[in-house]
Structure 1
Amino acid sequence: MSFLLNSKTFRMKQLMICTSTNWSKMNQPVRLLSNSKTRYPDYETIYQFPLIRVASLVNKLKFCQCVITGAGIPVTSVLAASNIITTDAAIVFATFGITLCAILYTAGFLGHNRVGFIYLKDDSTSIKIAYTDFWGKRVDIEVPVNDVWPMSDIPISPLNPFYYELRRYSSKETLKFNIKGANILNYEKFRLVFGDTVLT
Structure 2
Amino acid sequence: MAALLRAMLRLAGPAAWRRPVCGLWCRPGQDPGRRVGSRTPTLKEKPAGTETEKFQMVYRFDAIRAFGYLSQLKVAQTALTLLALPPGFYWYSHGLVTLGSLCFAGGIAGFALAMLCWMSHFFRRLVGILYVNEAGTVLRVAHLTFWGRRQDTDWPVADVMPMTESADRPQELFVRLQQYSGKQSFYLTLRYGRILDRERFTQVFGMLDTLK
| Alignment TM-score, normalising by the size of structure 2 | 0.66
Asked if residue 138 in structure 1 is aligned to residue 150 in structure 2, the reply is yes
Q: Select which of 176, 196, 201 maps to 1:165.
A: 176
Contact 2:173 2:191 in 1 (8 A): no
Alpha carbons of structure 1 residues 124 and 89: separation in structure 2 relative to 1, 3 Å: same
> Which whole-Å CA distance do the structure 2 matches of 1:76 and 1:152 have between them?
54
Q: Select which of 190, 203, 207 maps to 1:192.
A: 203
> Which whole-Å CA distance do the structure 2 matches of 1:31 and 1:113 have between them?
22
Alpha carbons of structure 1 residues 43 and 122: separation in structure 2 relative to 1, 3 Å: same
1:74-93 equivalences under 5 Å are 74-93=86-105
Quick check: 65-74 or 75-84, which moved more? 65-74
Unaligned runs of 5+ in 1: 1-29
> Which whole-Å CA distance do the structure 2 matches of 1:99 and 1:46 have between them?
38
Corresponding letter in the other structure for 2:65 = R
Contact 2:81 2:112 in 1 (8 A): no
Alpha carbons of structure 1 residues 198 and 94: separation in structure 2 relative to 1, 3 Å: farther
Name the structure 1 match of 2:20: 32
Cα deviation, 1:131-167, whole Å, max 9, x if unaligned, reads 113443322122222221100111248xx84411101
> Which whole-Å CA distance do the structure 2 matches of 1:54 and 1:173 have between them?
24
Q: What SS does structure 2 have at the residue aligned with 1:115?
A: coil
Question: How far 1:95 sits from its partner (Å)?
Answer: 3.2
Q: What SS does structure 2 have at the residue aligned with 1:38?
A: coil
Q: Select which of 176, 180, 185 maps to 1:174.
A: 185
Contact 2:161 2:205 in 1 (8 A): yes
Q: What SS does structure 1 have at the residue aligned with 2:90?
A: helix
Contact 1:131 1:138 in 2 (8 A): yes
Q: What SS does structure 2 have at the residue aligned with 1:64?
A: helix
1:16-165 equivalences under 5 Å are 31-34=19-22, 38-40=31-33, 42-156=54-168, 161-165=172-176
Q: What SS does structure 2 have at the residue aligned with 1:32?
A: coil
Unaligned runs of 5+ in 2: 1-17, 34-52
Which aligned runs of 4 or more in structure 1 are off by greater than 6 angstroms?
Answer: none
Question: How far 1:37 sits from its partner (Å)?
Answer: 7.4
Q: What SS does structure 2 have at the residue aligned with 1:179?
A: coil
Q: What SS does structure 2 have at the residue aligned with 1:180?
A: coil
Question: How far 1:193 sits from its partner (Å)?
Answer: 1.0
Identity %: 24
| Alignment TM-score, normalising by the size of structure 1 | 0.69
Higher helix share: 1
What's the Cα RMSD here? 2.9
Aligned residues: 169
Contact 2:78 2:112 in 1 (8 A): no
Alpha carbons of structure 1 residues 198 and 108: separation in structure 2 relative to 1, 3 Å: farther
Corresponding letter in the other structure for 2:191 = K
Cα deviation, 1:30-60, whole Å, max 9, x if unaligned, reads 8432479714471111110112122223332
> Which whole-Å CA distance do the structure 2 matches of 1:199 and 1:133 have between them?
31
Larger radius of gyration: 1
